[in-house]
Structure 1
Amino acid sequence: MRRRCASSSSRALRLPARSSALISSALRRVSPASSTGPAKHARAGRRIGAPRHRPGAACVPTVHRNAYTNDELQAVYDQTVAFVANEVKPHGEQWERDGKVPRAVLREMGDLGMFSLRVPVELGGLGLGPLASATFAEALGSSTFAGFDVTALVHTDMALPHLLNSGTPEQLERWLPAAMTGHSMLSIGVTEPDAGSDVAGIRTTAVRDGDGWRLNGTKTFITGAVYGDMTILAARTDPDERHGISMFLLPADTEGFVVAKKLDKHGWLCSDTAELTLTDVWLDGDHLLGVEHRAFSETMTNFQNERMVLVGMGVGAAQAAIDMTNAYTQQRRAFGGHLYDLGAIRQRMAMNQAKIDAVRASMYHGAWLAEQGVDATKELSGVKAWGAEAVNRVMYDCVQFHGGMGYMRESAIERMYRDARVLPIGGGATEVMLEEVAKRSYVDG
């Protein structure tokens, strides 16, 4: 049984009218087949010899409640799972071939309030916190198309927080409404060829020029910038200070700002990734986001949110992979029985479930700490490190237990295995995350 957060009922009363649409939409959009699916699938998953299941076919995601879930968060989860089941899974393979998610789909997500979860109520959003982001990310992960997941999460949880946290009233009035509806999609431009996890190594420069700024430099591995509308971009504004970095609002159609290359990736194929060049780009002074020279700390703070949602989408995908593999091995006949009859297989899958349950619990705990205003850098860096590795280990086993079919491009599990590989790299490499934990683990005396 769910344990409600103490503040859930009072917060629900303060939510805007959009929240009721969020809940009712979840109920409307779930088809009769899928609305009865979870219970049936859960029962099938617990017995040997489940009904026949096509290799790699989508399963209804296992619903996992946690100690921090309340009615609002459950509504976010339910609606998002329903949305991806109806609007993403049937079309995701085509998006993989196209290399992008259609803008109409993103606008529909905006219309449903999915891009407004963290936007304050007074600005027209739902006013929720990190727990909502974690819930949203896990639910997106059930899509099995990580490129779609990250397209949404870069916008909502990696770029938009900079505008919300540092934007002036004028900037919020100008840029926020279109971002909330999906009519303007944001990317975050921090990574450079020589500055990945080492943000202080940024070389892109912004120099004052009249009443504006002149920017020059290169960015790489920028998710969503090929087809996006604006990049929230980090540039060095103080050459004498290692942390002298500022953030800028950079519209895609700005003269001198060019997508030099659309990068070809191992996974996340329906998410576009860009190499960007800035050549004498001029921006008006009102495009500076936040305090000059002070964006380094803001960037490092938001990295915790970024790491949290990357783990969240990984957890959702791993759970889907476990469900798919259990269903497949329970119907796949071999050696006079079903694969799931073999203790070596079902015990390893049971251990995989235990791993993902532990990652999920750690992620939500970190989200809860952040929601209380506690610095959760140690906790979220830790779960990013071992959680991303655990997701990859789970995907490895799921491919293995699908046998030859798991190696075929027609199998969803093959795609999910490729997609998972970047999780220990992006948003902070495992080795860097472990250093963040180690630095906070010294014992006095």
Structure 2
Amino acid sequence: MGRLLKPFLPRGLYWRAALIVFVPVSVILLVVSLSFIQRHYDGVTRQMTGNFLLVAHYMLDRVDAQPDPDRAQDEARALGAQFGLLDARIDEELPPPIEMKLPFYDLSGSLAVAELQRGLPQMREVALTSGELTLWLESRHGYLRLHFQLSRISARNPHQMLVLTFVIGIVMGVIAFIYLKNQMRPMARLALAAEAFGRGQTVRYRPGGATEVRAAGKAFLEMRERIERHIEQRTLLLSGVSHDLRTPLTRMRLALSMMEDEPEAAALMADVAEMESLIDRFLEFARTEAVEPMDETDLEALVASRVAEARRAGRAVAFEPGWVGSPVSLRPQLMARAIDNLIANAVRYGTRARIWIETGGSEISVCVEDDGPGIEPEDRERATRPFVRLDLARGASRGSGAGLGLAIVADAMRSHGGRLELGTGATEGYGGLLARLVLPVSDGK
């Protein structure tokens, strides 16, 4: 049952809380109102019908006591006027059967008619039209016709209490709705602040609302401060270590440059160059946490510039332009580093790569596909961790590295509130690793 109702229920906490408040209250009010009306109007109707039965029996006895039909007719009319009936007379014959039609909201009319039938065994026909009731009672001189308002024997307008309950419920519901909205607003602000922090943005947030919400807000602020402090310490650590290593490497390069005739000098110089490349990767990984403001950027132009830069470096990269879209809010330098890393990763483990942009729903994806060996599905999550190398899967002969390439890309996408997705390409001539830089974009941009 829960699975069947889930698609029709609201997903937001605000509307779910509104349902939790209003549905039970509405059901209780409806059940209590109907139960009260049923019992109250049943009792009133039986009492009023019982009073009218006394009048009907009295009139029937008086009419039967008359010696002839003319005197009986005069007596019936006189008694009808005396008891406030609309009409009272003697009919010689019964009318054709008349179908009674009660309004759907008349909760007591049918009960009144049933009580009349039970208390007047002389009743031969009954007609109910437009809130007026007509009875034909068998007498000694014919059929005594009594015509009167239904309100004479039945409590009228039973729906008025329902209307009053409904109106009061609406008014109180609006008041409760406003109060609930004010209570939910601090939680919505907390959710927005947490979502912005997940995108790498720090927005101003002040705890408010109920005690529990304030406690959650304060815990979020403390957690955000700890995370920012940890990121800052990690960045400083990597930057400091990388810069400190450059000094001895520079001395080593200088010493090796003076030993060009030595046979081991070339190999050592290659090792020094590789160590400097690793240091550059460490610095690049540290720079992914640097704060860069968001800016409206032409994504296709950004991708095209990185492809052109890769081609100038001698890399075989194909770009498929043609994406039509509005500028995207992102960090241009961080996004450029992510694309550069994917291109470098593609041509390192393959021979060529292709790049294109596609749109799906509220997301935009920059796709990079190579013709390399790819990554097995069970290793893809581990491949995005820092300092993890999958040489056995990707080919150790392709070169060494620090295992930071995909980690840098994953961090860059998390700072945009997006994600890095790894899969297997299906394009003919490629079919290697397919990496997607997925960016969330509101309003389909």
Same fold? TM cut 0.5:
no
